[in-house]
């Protein structure tokens, strides 16, 4: 009987932000393949003493799939641990396609995205009434290309809350594109390794964030958040808890 591959969202870094379901799989997995450049090793602390553990940072797709195939052929449980939630820049699509072709069973366990650890670290709500009700998750183009119409300068036309992954090393270019549509005084925050013990936060505006980020020497493993939600002034109360607002659970 063939085994199974379970894709796991390993969370943003703090091992206590691992979901209970993911924790249970890690505890009983025979083989663990984890994204070593990003996943906190503390997440794997409860792995079985005899579990085979592979760091995929130095592996290519063929090598990863070969291990999955070899171990599932033995009836083994393989945990593929990605950082945050695997559906955001997790590269699981290509792995699933290969597993489908090989008729290897798999499932996905979602995780806490690093984005939500960032908003918690900033003590910010990303969607405030009459400020922004839209969150744009994106990245700048680089070695991994993106469609031209998804360029940051075009997304910036909405002036919504924007969360930019994998862009801190290109902070000058990112800010240049943002400035095409956001006002120069727009608040910006850059959070490195949100929820880790060595988490770092840099706050500023589009006018000064480049200088601040360079001064702090933040050059990887960080998310850029842009938008008025970071400094909204007086917050307009939501309808949800307004005593004059009727809904199916409460009458005004």
SS3 letters for 68-95? Answer: HHHHHHCCCEEEEEECECCCCCCCHHHH
CA 174/CA 178 separation, integer angstroms: 6
How many residues in total does the chain contain? 252
pLDDT in tens, 132-145: 999 999 999 877 78
Q: How confident is the model at residue 2 (pLDDT cuts 50, 70, 90)?
A: confident
Q: Strands 52-55 and 187-192, how do they pair?
A: unpaired
CA 231/CA 222 separation, integer angstroms: 20
CA 110/CA 118 separation, integer angstroms: 17
pLDDT of 70 strictly over 80: yes
Average pLDDT over residues 209-227: 95
Closest CA to 7 of 137, 105, 101, 73: 105
Rounded (10°) CA dihedral 120, 122, 125, 129: 180
Helix (H) or strand (E) holding 5: strand 4-9
Which pTM was predicted? 0.90
The conformation of residue 31, written as its DSSP 8-state character, comes to: E
pLDDT of 1 strictly over 80: no
pLDDT in tens, 176-196: 999 999 999 999 999 999 999
pLDDT of 239 strictly over 80: no
Rounded (10°) CA dihedral 209, 122, 245, 159: 20
Kindly state the greatest CA–CA separation across the chain: 62
Q: What are the residue ranges spanned by the domains of the chain? A: 4-112, 115-230
CB 13 within 8 A of CB 117: yes
pLDDT of 203 strictly over 80: yes
User: Residues near 55 by Cβ (< 8 Å), separated by ≥ 6?
Assistant: 34, 36
Average pLDDT over residues 118-131: 95
CB 29 within 8 A of CB 107: no
Closest CA to 64 of 89, 40, 39, 31: 31
Predicted local distance difference test score (pLDDT) of residue 244: 65
CATH class in words for 4-112 = alpha beta
pLDDT of 72 strictly over 90: yes
**Residue carrying the six token digits 């013990």:** 197
CATH class in words for 115-230 = alpha beta
């Amino acid at each position: 009987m063939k085994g199974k591959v379970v894709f796991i969202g390993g969370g943003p870094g703090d091992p206590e932000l691992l979901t209970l379901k993911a924790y249970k799989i890690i505890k009983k997995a025979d083989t663990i393949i984890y994204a070593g450049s990003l996943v906190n090793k503390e997440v794997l602390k409860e792995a079985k003493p005899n579990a085979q553990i592979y760091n995929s940072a130095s592996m290519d797709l063929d090598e990863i799939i070969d291990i999955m195939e070899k171990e599932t052929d033995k009836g083994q449980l393989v945990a593929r641990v990605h950082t945050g939630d695997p559906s955001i820049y997790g590269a699981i699509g290509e792995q699933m396609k290969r597993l489908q072709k090989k008729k290897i069973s798999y499932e996905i366990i979602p995780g806490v995205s690093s984005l939500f650890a960032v908003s918690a670290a900033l003590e910010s709500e990303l969607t405030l009434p009459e400020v922004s009700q839209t969150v744009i998750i994106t990245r700048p183009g680089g070695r991994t290309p993106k469609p031209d119409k998804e360029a940051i300068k075009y997304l910036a036309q909405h002036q919504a809350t924007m969360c930019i992954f994998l862009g801190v090393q290109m902070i000058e270019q990112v800010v240049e594109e943002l400035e095409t549509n956001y006002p120069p005084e727009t608040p910006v925050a850059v959070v490195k390794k949100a929820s880790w013990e060595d988490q770092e936060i840099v706050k500023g505006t589009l006018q000064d964030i480049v200088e601040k980020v360079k001064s702090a020497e933040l050059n990887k493993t960080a998310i850029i958040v842009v938008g008025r939600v970071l400094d909204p002034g007086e917050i307009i109360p939501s309808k949800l808890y307004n005593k004059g607002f009727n809904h199916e659970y409460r009458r005004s």
